Structure 1
């Protein structure tokens, strides 16, 4: 029995060493390519001999264990039940976990009494389509969709937009301040330990490049605006 446990322990150590070697090899190759995003995790992919490399920005690439061959693209599974985008599934799951860890009190939330699901929207108060989306928040709430706003000032953290958004997050009535800002009205200056910079950084890591960037409850990203009826239907389908 002791030999059985010893053999299992040795196998476990060997496996850990193999994964550590693969990670090091892949990391060295990415460093040679001056790849700007660090590795978060390395694991098996559905393709034999190919490793799945999760990056800290939530994206996925693939590599051989020796790090000599890298693939940046989408891995599809084609079967009798149709086509699955395996890369998108992994990226969505990672985004889901990251967004689930966001404290609710750090978001500006517009919620119905009995939400069917929620969306997390990285927003900019001066963005035209963000304003158009906000005009339909009431409709989304009526359709059972909770809207959670995270800050993503596109012009950067030193911009006037960022300062306005800091005041929104620090306002006594965040919902009213958000609505005023989206309508181009003046928002009273306020300061506090706001999460704007942290959320801006998080959005960048999740691949947000423009606003509104809408994440469904399952982590899937919808870049850009959609009318309330369409958006609600997609949100419920991706809850």
Structure 2
């Protein structure tokens, strides 16, 4: 009988503890969101959860970027959180961001991209934010056949680097509205004008996705595992990184 009463009291105590913890989490969530609202972030908050470091909360933004905040919302920071594992530093922030970026990018339907398939076996793929007015995008485009030969599928998404309404935006919309997108991309990169009727296209949406994951210039290469590589890289180097991405 005494044991039964003890267990009953223990259950009540545990229930009270869980209630307090839930209330504290709810209070922290509310405080952090209030602070973030005052910062006028342009990117929505996806979730807020406890980080591996006690007392620090992980704020996941739409697209993949991560912020950290104190439980009372009085301190907010952007930066990398490292944990020493086996005597080596592990970038926990980068790990979380890569997973989120991979989910975001790999969630874009390939039907909304300009895709250059691998020759033979597809060993990996890269997603490239591009602009037809960008010289280094042209340089990377010249190496797409080499990447394809190495088993890398190249997927283009649009990112007008000078913003929506710019000449690059108009060109990209023309490419995406063409019946033969690959042919239109090739001709546009060669400096030839193409004509295409206006259509419902994903250029604006892809531009916004790029901004949300931290793209601020072109070309920007995203590996299959979500790693973001800003700027041009030679084909052999890109292929090595792409094949190593898990």
Aligned to 2:4: none
Aligned to 1:138: 145
1:226 to 233, 238, 242: 233
Cα shift at 1:145: 0.6
Query: Does 2:209 correspond to 1:209?
Result: no
| CA spacing shift, 1:198–1:35, aligned 2, 3 Å | closer
- Aligned partner of residue 179 in structure 1, secondary structure: helix
Instruction: Count how many residue pairs are aligned between Structure 1 and Structure 2.
Output: 239
Cα shift readout 1:31-75 (whole Å, capped 9, x = no counterpart): 344444432111121111111111224211111211122222111
Aligned residues of 1:166 and 1:190 also touching (Cα < 8 A): no
Aligned to 1:99: 105
Find the aligned partners of 2:15 and 2:235 in 1 and give their Cα distance. 55
Find the aligned partners of 1:232 and 1:42 in 2 and give their Cα distance. 36
Aligned to 1:58: 64
Aligned to 1:31: 37
Which of structures 1 and 2 has the bigger CA Rg?
Answer: 2
| CA spacing shift, 1:174–1:21, aligned 2, 3 Å | same
Aligned residues of 2:131 and 2:160 also touching (Cα < 8 A): yes
* Structure 1 range deviating more: 153-162 or 220-229: 153-162
Aligned to 1:157: 164
Find the aligned partners of 2:112 and 2:165 in 1 and give their Cα distance. 20
Aligned residues of 2:63 and 2:100 also touching (Cα < 8 A): no
- Aligned partner of residue 165 in structure 1, secondary structure: helix
Aligned residues of 2:43 and 2:212 also touching (Cα < 8 A): no
- Aligned partner of residue 120 in structure 1, secondary structure: strand
Find the aligned partners of 1:101 and 1:47 in 2 and give their Cα distance. 30
Query: Does 2:132 correspond to 1:108?
Result: no
- Aligned partner of residue 218 in structure 1, secondary structure: coil
Aligned residues of 2:115 and 2:155 also touching (Cα < 8 A): yes
Aligned residues of 2:63 and 2:101 also touching (Cα < 8 A): no
- Aligned partner of residue 109 in structure 1, secondary structure: strand
2:124 to 100, 117, 129: 117
Unmatched segments (≥5 aa) in structure 1: none
Find the aligned partners of 1:147 and 1:9 in 2 and give their Cα distance. 53
Normalising by structure 2, report the TM-score.
Answer: 0.89
Aligned to 2:242: 235
Find the aligned partners of 2:47 and 2:101 in 1 and give their Cα distance. 14
Normalising by structure 1, report the TM-score.
Answer: 0.91
